[in-house]
Every structure is written in C-alpha cells, then in structure tokens.
Structure 1
Amino acid sequence: MAKSPEEMANAMIANMKEKTGKTLDQWIAVAKKSGEEKHGQIVKHLKAEYGLTHGFANLVAHKFLKSDAGSAEGGDGALVDAQYAGAKADLKPIYDALIKCVSSFGKDVEIAPKKTYVSLRRNKQFALIQPSTKTRVDLGINFKDEPAKDRLEKSGSFNAMVSHRVKLEKPGDVDKDVKAWLKKAYSQA
C-alpha cells in the first residue's frame, strides 16, 4: 500500500540528517538566512547552493513557509477552507463536485491540499484544483500526448506541474468531458 504524503514526509525528515548532513531545523535556518520568500526561489536556492535533491529542497521549502498540510494550523481542512474563504466562497461547490468525481475512481486517490491549490495524486500527481480568481477555478490535468482542444487548453503559464488546464466557473462545468479527462489522467498516473 502506498504511503500517505505525511508518512513520506516523516520518512524523509527522519533520514534527512543522514542523507543531507543537516536536520530539518538546520535546513529551515538555511532557508530563512537565504532571504528567499517564495517556494520556487527557496527550492532553486537549496538545489543550486547546497546540492539538495528536489524532494528534500521541496520539503524544506514547504516546512519553512508552512505551506504543506502537515504544517498548516488545522491541517488539510483549514487549507481548503482558506482557499475558498471570502470572495471565493461561491466557488466551493465546484471544488466539491471535482472531489466527488475523483473520489469515485478508487481508494488510491490521494487528495493533498497545499496552501493555494489541492493536488490530486495516485502514484503521481494527475491533476490539481486551484481557485484562481473570484469567479473561476482552474483544473490542471496531467496528460501524456493529449492535444489541446476547446475547453482543454495547454497549461501555459498557469502551472508547470500540469500539462493542461480547464477553466470552471460553475458546478455544472464539471460535466462528462471534465470527468472523462480526469479519469484518463488518473489511469495514466
């Protein structure tokens, strides 16, 4: 059975000193001292200056910024609640429809909230859900060799972690096409 993200992070933290020469707290101090404030900048700095693998640099950045579910006060639910707070509250039914859809695919679907989006994983990430504006949720999907067509557009500058994007403005936009695209990405993951 696959480990949860929390179990994987805990295993990495337990092995961090042996694998990298420093503890998590020491790496967090290095990240703080760097002066970098954005996740990608911290990851890039730790990889370039200290030779950390992407996995360790990513973990340190999340822990430093408290942007992972394990670091956020209140856990996963608090991260999702914060994403749909205030002006974006009307978008939560779109998120709920997407979660209902992917949850039907199997017990191996992992729903992993981050600070600004929710990652949908199996063996690897197959999609992500991000409330991008007050009126739109962006669904990022990872496909192999899928042409962009109509609503299924190339991700462009939206997010480098996915190949395609679908813009959703109401729960009804989570239609048969969106469900089929999600199922296909899930089956490829």
Structure 2
Amino acid sequence: MTSDPFASLNVALQKSTGKSLEEWKSIAKGCDLNGHMQIVGWLKSEHGLGHGHANSIAHAAKETAAISIDDDVLVANMFAGPKAALRPIYDKIIAAAKGFGDDLELSPKKAYVSLRRSKQFAIAQPSTKDRFDLGLNLKGTEINQRLELSGSWNAMVSHRVRITAPAEVDEELIGWLKAAYDLA
C-alpha cells in the first residue's frame, strides 16, 4: 500500500476524466473561490465531478488532507440530504476542538465522529434533520438545563448537549468540550 493518500485518486481521475490530480489542483486553485465547500460545489457544477472526487481535489488544492479521503467521505455522507443544515454546527465544534491542542484525533464513523486525545472525550452526531447531539465524557459533572446525562442515548459518553442552531455552539458549550478534552 502506498503512503500517498492521493495516488489512487490520481489513477481514478486519469481514467475517468483524462486529467491528472495535478491538473485538477491547478483548475481548483484558479477558480478564485476560497471556501472548501465552495470549491467542491464549483467542481461538481462546472466540471461534472462526483462529490468524492471534487472533495478530494479541493483538499489536495488547499493542502488540507489531514483527514483521510475516506474520512472526508464519511463526514460528507453524514451531512447529505436532510441533515445538511446541521453541518455548520459540526464545523464550529471541530474548529473549536482543533484549538485545544495538536493531539486531537478525529475518527469519523458512519453516523458520528469520535473526538479523541489519549481516549475518546466526545461524540459529534447529526441525530435528526433538526438536532445535532454532542456527547461528552464529563463523569462527575453536574447536569443543568443544557447539559444532560447521556442516559440511553449513548453509553460511550456520560453527558449530552442537544443543539439545533450554530449559535448554540457558544462559550459554555466550548467550555464543556474543553473540559472533556482536558480529562482525556
């Protein structure tokens, strides 16, 4: 197995489009768009690429391939369709967590993303089309109106916060996330 995460992508792109990954990176860099999802959308609409290829090219062009291509696809699939409106909540949570330290690990699964340090400290999950759940390992922390015990929702975490809008990813919530990170 090659250590280059884009080697198989390059082969697939050559076969399906006739262009190499380097050519696609150049095209993406020349589109005058800055946001990752803007570039993905542009590659899909203007060049007819599928989401997986467009997403991978955008990461390669921006040199942001810290998460493997397969992980990106898992996250994209989590927010496909009716759960798409919840993606800004996820993005705010992950951006905050990345500021905690270089030892943050994101481990996407089919339905949620595990946030790990030396052990898992949080779960980020778009649960319904209207609600995002953030599970936290905060054993011993008292509950309140927002921070509830996880109960039967998920046994891998002790607490849960139900989130319905990006504005709810506030200082209080980030404080709980940081506390869980510190305990891991």
Same fold (TM over 0.5): yes
Q: Tell me, in whole angstroms, the C-alpha distance in 1 between the residues paired with 2:182 and 2:100.
A: 9
Counterpart residue identity of residue 121, structure 1? R
Q: Which runs of 5+ in 1 are unaligned?
A: 1-72
- Among 134, 138, 146, the alignment partner of 1:139 is 134
Aligned residues with identical type, % of pairs: 55
Counterpart residue identity of residue 139, structure 1? L
Q: How does 1:30-179 map to 2 (within 5 A)?
A: 74-179=69-174
Q: Tell me, in whole angstroms, the C-alpha distance in 1 between the residues paired with 2:121 and 2:178.
A: 9
Secondary structure of the 2:145 match is coil
Counterpart residue identity of residue 125, structure 1? Q
Q: How does 1:13-32 map to 2 (within 5 A)?
A: none
* Count of residue pairs brought into register by the alignment: 117
TM-score normalised according to structure 2 size: 0.62
Q: Give every structure 1 segment of 4 or more consecutive aligned residues whose post-TM-superposition deviation is greater than 6 Å.
A: none
Q: Tell me, in whole angstroms, the C-alpha distance in 2 between the residues paired with 1:185 and 1:125.
A: 9
Q: Tell me, in whole angstroms, the C-alpha distance in 1 between the residues paired with 2:80 and 2:163.
A: 18
Q: Deviations over 1:66-101 (max 9, x none)?
A: xxxxxxx95100100110000000000000000001
Given the alignment of the two structures, is residue 186 of structure 1 paired with residue 181 of structure 2, yes or no? yes
| Rg larger in structure | 2
TM-score normalised according to structure 1 size: 0.61
Secondary structure of the 1:87 match is helix
Cα offset for 1:144? 2.5
- 1:21 is matched with none
Q: Which runs of 5+ in 2 are unaligned?
A: 1-67
Q: Tell me, in whole angstroms, the C-alpha distance in 2 between the residues paired with 1:157 and 1:131.
A: 17
Secondary structure of the 1:166 match is strand
Cα offset for 1:148? 1.2
